[in-house]
Structure 1
Amino acid sequence: MEKTSNIADETDENNIENEMERYGIIRASIDVYHYKEFRYTNFSDALQQAKRDERAAKKQSK
């Protein structure tokens, strides 16, 4: 059975937060859109690729 260390995780997170505060670093979360095996940070890029794939599939089925 593996032992997990929540205390170590909390310490690491506290260190990160302290360093961020010290150096004025800001954490920002971003949305990531997944389409097939690809990742996009912009929804319209993911949508356009999905539409290109759809058009290509329709052409192949004709």
Structure 2
Amino acid sequence: MTVLRIAGVVAWPDTAVVAVGEDDYGAAVTLAEERACGRPFLLSTVADGVPLGDVKGCRYVPG
């Protein structure tokens, strides 16, 4: 949600956000899903200083 605010996007619970990976695969989520999962969304490319590889979570895209 913070990233969307910074980008000037007014988002509603049914607003779809799509992350696109280096293979052009996209994973879409809505803001309402964040509340349903009970955990905040996390957009991450690095963990503990190491670039993330093919790490599967609820939704993921490589690269």
TM-score w.r.t. the length of structure 1 is 0.24
Larger relative contact order, structure 1 or 2 (CA cutoff 8 Å, min sep 6): 2
The structure having more radius of gyration, on CA atoms, is 1
* Greater fraction of residues in strand: 2
